Amino acid sequence: MGSTGDTTWQALAAAKREAILGSIPEKWRLDKIPTVDEQRNVTDAYIRQFLSPKESEITETDAVGIVEKTTSGAWSAVEVAEAFCHRASLSHQLVNCLHETFFDAALSDAKELEDWFAEHGKPKGPLHGLPVSLKDQFHVKGVDTTMGYVGWIDTFQGQKGDPRSKTFESEMVRELRNLGAVLYCKTAVPHTLMCGETVNNIIEYTWNPTNRHLSSGGSSGGEGALIALRGSPGGFGTDIGGSIRAPSSFNGLFGLRPSSGRLPYEGMANSMDGQNSVLSVVGPLATSAGGVKLLTKAILSAEPWLHDPLVAEIPWRADVEAQTRDRIASSQLRVGFHAHDGAITPHPPLQRALSLLRDIISRSGNQVLDWQPPASVSHPTVADLVAKTWIYDGGADVRKDFALSGEPWDPRILDIWQERPQADATSIAETNLALRKCRKEYLDYWNSTGADVFVTPCAPFTAARPGRYDYIGYTSFVNGLDLPSAVVPITTVDKNVDKFDSGFVPVSELDRKIQSDYDPEIYDGAPVSLQIVGRRYQEEKVLAIAEWLEAELKKASHTS
């Protein structure tokens, strides 16, 4: 689909884009956004110049630290909310990461929390006063959910005049409010959601704030960029092929792609909703492993299975967490390492990160092993099956949403939306069987290894360069197998260490192409992250390991 020649969608998109900017208070506007050559990295010191020391202190504290202060009364919910509203406003201006802001509602909610605290002498819940950002699939009263579609502006999921527009709230929103969270903004997504970069005709492109040559990832790219800038201490994204893990990884954040059925997706907007071979899942991203755990535990404490029929009745299992810590302490942990999926070679910084992590685990006395599933369940094989599920409907669902306004899709998004025949019931059943067979064989392989978890990159690159997200197999196999996966930031690209491998021998044209995308000059300073993949429903274990590795990495960086 090309441009329609009609300017309507452009005008609507521009108006919405202006409205988002316009929702930022004058006092928080920036006069000038530096070019990437002037200022590649707009996080940390750069953004801090626009904040008061107290605002910086608050916003650079992780979610666990914030609730320690807000639940003890050391910080007021209002001052915390205001600091994050300010920093989120700056963040959006720097990298286009927001779809909606509702700062007045947030400040009013924060005030109510303060009143509650004053009245009851205790916090409302485990997230009392914690600002939480949400991907623009969550419905929050008072604002749009556009999911990046021009045709969804001022509608309910594209339906004009639907009474749920700006009134309905997703189940998890209800839970977050009850837990004491302060909601204040919704973050950018690529239209269709089916993309590892974040781009749409409303906010355009969401840049990686640590290195604005690069993508912030997708589809939860607005979350990734915002949290990297500390415009949020943590938030929720979704993942059907890597959409939590790519942004976590590209932005140097912790993130969790839970098993399907662990956290409540109920009442959220989605693409191809009702496709149930591989389900999209919702999960947290945060600046610390503890932050990810806090958000996960808090939602589970709300007993989401009572309100979302797809959630399994599995509360947070402190015993699994404790057993994992015991295994680590007693050097019993077994960690697999999968450095290459057989199809595409990870860029040099990722290879260095894998070695670094492997060394840390070995030195701790715990065990490492090579993770090499049989060819029949190689990660590319599983990824190919997953990709089939995304085009069951031949693009009908997303084309319908583009057609609402006549807007074209961005050439950088996964271009699988040209009309093609629908899959029929027999072929869908065959894909389901093939996926189940993979999951069974993978389980048998896992049992043979005795491993607790395994480690692998989230992509062959530390972050995608715009328009060059050419391979998603490093994340999407996890969705096909339905495993929990936690992203852990390991290091940053150092152009003096992470040289281009000129002796590299590609196994395919795509392998050659992707490796050639590595340019130490362009990538310098970018975060380098890995994912820790566990058995289905063992979120407690992968997060306990992520917390341990976070601490070990901190120790290692202090001694190096």
Residue from 84, 117, 371, 392 binding its own copies (CB under 8 A): 392
Q: Does 309 bind its own copies (CB under 8 A)?
A: yes
Kindly state the smallest distance separating residue 309's Cβ from its own copies, in Å: 3
Bridge partners, residue 98, by sequence: 187
Residue from 15, 107, 310, 404 binding its own copies (CB under 8 A): 310
Q: Residue 376 and residue 361: Cα distance in Å, rounded?
A: 29
Residue from 60, 79, 204, 266 binding its own copies (CB under 8 A): 266
> Which of 111, 307 has the CB closer to its own copies?
307
The region of 65-73, 105-113, 217-225, 431-439 touching its own copies under the rule CB under 8 A is 431-439
Q: 69, 124, 135, 293: which one is catalytic?
A: 135
**Between residue 477 and residue 496, which ones bind its own copies under the rule CB under 8 A?**
481-482
User: To 5 degrees, how large is the angle CA 171–CA 173–CA 176?
Assistant: 115
Mapped onto helix, strand or coil, the DSSP state of residue 492 is: strand
Kindly state the smallest distance separating residue 422's Cβ from its own copies, in Å: 4
> Which of 21, 310 has the CB closer to its own copies?
310
Q: 91, 219, 378, 529: which one is catalytic?
A: 219
Kindly state the smallest distance separating residue 149's Cβ from its own copies, in Å: 18
The region of 8-16, 142-150, 243-251, 270-278 touching its own copies under the rule CB under 8 A is 270-278
Residue from 424, 448, 497, 499 binding its own copies (CB under 8 A): 424
Residue from 19, 107, 314, 556 binding its own copies (CB under 8 A): 314
Residue from 393, 401, 410, 547 binding its own copies (CB under 8 A): 393
**365 torsion bin: left (phi>0), alpha (psi -120 to 50), beta (else):** left
**Between residue 433 and residue 472, which ones bind its own copies under the rule CB under 8 A?**
433, 436, 439-440, 442-444, 447
* Separation of CA 354 from chain center: 21
**Angstrom distances, CA of residue 306 to CA of 183, 309, 312, 315, 484:** 23, 7, 9, 12, 22
Is-catalytic flag, 219? yes
Kindly state the smallest distance separating residue 442's Cβ from its own copies, in Å: 8
Tokens 């271009």 belong to 415
Q: Does 109 bind its own copies (CB under 8 A)?
A: no
Neighbours of 486 (CB within 10 A): 32
Kindly state the smallest distance separating residue 397's Cβ from its own copies, in Å: 7
Q: Residue 351 and residue 90: Cα distance in Å, rounded?
A: 34
**Between residue 509 and residue 528, which ones bind its own copies under the rule CB under 8 A?**
none
Task: Output the DSSP codes for 318-341.
Answer: HHHHHHHHHHHHTT--EEEE----
Kindly state the smallest distance separating residue 274's Cβ from its own copies, in Å: 3
- Three-state SS across 138-197? CCCCCCCCCCCCHHHCCCECCECCCCCCCCCCCHHHHHHHHCCCEEEEEECCCCCCCCCC
Tokens 């932050």 belong to 291
Q: Does 305 bind its own copies (CB under 8 A)?
A: yes
Structure-token pair, residue 16: 């919405």
Q: Does 273 bind its own copies (CB under 8 A)?
A: yes
Is-catalytic flag, 135? yes
Beta strands in 249-340 (DSSP E): 254-257, 281-286, 334-337
117 and 123 Cβ atoms separated by less than 8 Å: yes
> Which residue, 364, 284, 292, 279, is CA-closest to 321?
292
CA dihedral (373, 246, 80, 293) in degrees, to 10, reads -10
Kindly state the smallest distance separating residue 263's Cβ from its own copies, in Å: 14
**Angstrom distances, CA of residue 122 to CA of 130, 294, 477:** 15, 18, 44
Q: Does 306 bind its own copies (CB under 8 A)?
A: yes
> Which residue, 520, 526, 525, is CA-closest to 501?
520
Is-catalytic flag, 165? no
Q: 56, 243, 271, 378: which one is catalytic?
A: 243
Kindly state the smallest distance separating residue 425's Cβ from its own copies, in Å: 4
Q: Residue 53 and residue 22: Cα distance in Å, rounded?
A: 26
Kindly state the smallest distance separating residue 88's Cβ from its own copies, in Å: 32
Classify each residue of 81-99 as buried b or exposed e, where b means 16 or more C-beta atoms within 10 Å of its C-beta. Answer: bbbbbbbbbbbbbbbbbbb
Q: Does 38 bind its own copies (CB under 8 A)?
A: no
Q: Does 404 bind its own copies (CB under 8 A)?
A: no
> Which of 70, 145 has the CB closer to its own copies?
145
Q: Does 426 bind its own copies (CB under 8 A)?
A: yes
Residue from 5, 53, 274, 503 binding its own copies (CB under 8 A): 274
Residue from 318, 329, 403, 429 binding its own copies (CB under 8 A): 429
> Which of 320, 510 has the CB closer to its own copies?
320
Kindly state the smallest distance separating residue 287's Cβ from its own copies, in Å: 29
Residue from 397, 494, 517, 552 binding its own copies (CB under 8 A): 397
Mapped onto helix, strand or coil, the DSSP state of residue 377 is: helix
Q: Does 164 bind its own copies (CB under 8 A)?
A: no
User: For 408, which DSSP code?
Assistant: P
**Dihedral sign, Cα of residue 62, residue 63, residue 64, residue 66:** positive
Residue from 430, 448, 497, 554 binding its own copies (CB under 8 A): 430
Q: Does 394 bind its own copies (CB under 8 A)?
A: yes
Q: Residue 76 and residue 80: Cα distance in Å, rounded?
A: 6
> Which of 2, 274 has the CB closer to its own copies?
274
> Which of 375, 425 has the CB closer to its own copies?
425
Residues in the chain: 560
Give the side-chain half-sphere CA count within 13 A for 490.
27
Q: Which strand (E) or helix (H) includes residue 280?
A: none
Backbone angles phi, psi at 15, to 5 degrees: -65, -40
Residue from 313, 319, 509, 521 binding its own copies (CB under 8 A): 313
Residue from 536, 550, 552, 553 binding its own copies (CB under 8 A): 536
Active site residue ranges: 135, 219, 243
Binding region for its own copies (CB under 8 A): 261, 266, 272-277, 305-310, 312-314, 392-394, 396-397, 422-426, 428-433, 436, 439-440, 442-444, 447, 481-482, 535-538
